[in-house]
Amino acid sequence: MNNTQWAHRFELKPDCWVFVPTDESLLYGKKVKNEIESKWVTPYYYSHLKAGGHITALKSHIGNNYFIRADIKQFFNSINRTRVTRELKLIFNPYKLARSIACNSIVTKPNSNGKESILPFGFVQSPIIASLCLSKSALGRYLDKLGSTGFKVTVYMDDIIISTSQSYNTAELALSNLLDRAERSRFF
């Protein structure tokens, strides 16, 4: 964890920091992003990583009767070095490489006395790393399952939209399960 990775930082709102990477970190981030993109197939419903983005995501829900909208609060803050390493080691070999990428892609959380690491909002590689971590979590696996059982699912970074034309009770059960998986994944 090297705080010389960023040129400066500012607090956008309470406990929501934006980190401006150094030129060196910017180049490193682009390299990491490209490497992950070449090795990982993103879920089809991750709209922020596809052409068309949020407009396409919203249009895909037209025609359904019931909707669930969930926002992962402090999404990047909930992703630490351990989580990043765990997911990167699935696509980067050896482990030492995954750990090195993780250590160079996270920062110390401000006001944590150096005890907490977070994925920095503002780094080039952060969106794809966050997406990888989400997809491999219990919440991500549940979203995959929903998508194959008559639900329409879209993810736009930390915003999740789920819709269905099944019954209201089915949608309620999906919401309950979604909240359970989010808590288990520490995305709440």
Domain ranges, ordered by start, for the chain: 20-184
**Average pLDDT for 96-117:** 95
Q: For 128-173, what is each residue's pLDDT tens digit?
A: 999 999 999 999 999 999 989 989 999 999 999 999 999 999 999 9
What band does 119 get if pLDDT is binned at 50, 70 and 90?
very high
Element (H, E) at 103: helix 95-105
Residue-level pLDDT at 38: 97
- The overall average pLDDT reported for the chain is 94
Residues 51, 168: Cα–Cα separation, whole Å:
32
According to DSSP H, which parts of 71-125 are helical? Answer: 81-88, 95-105
Provide mean pLDDT across the span 31-42. Answer: 96
Write down the pLDDT at residue 71. Answer: 96
Give the per-residue pLDDT at 65.
96
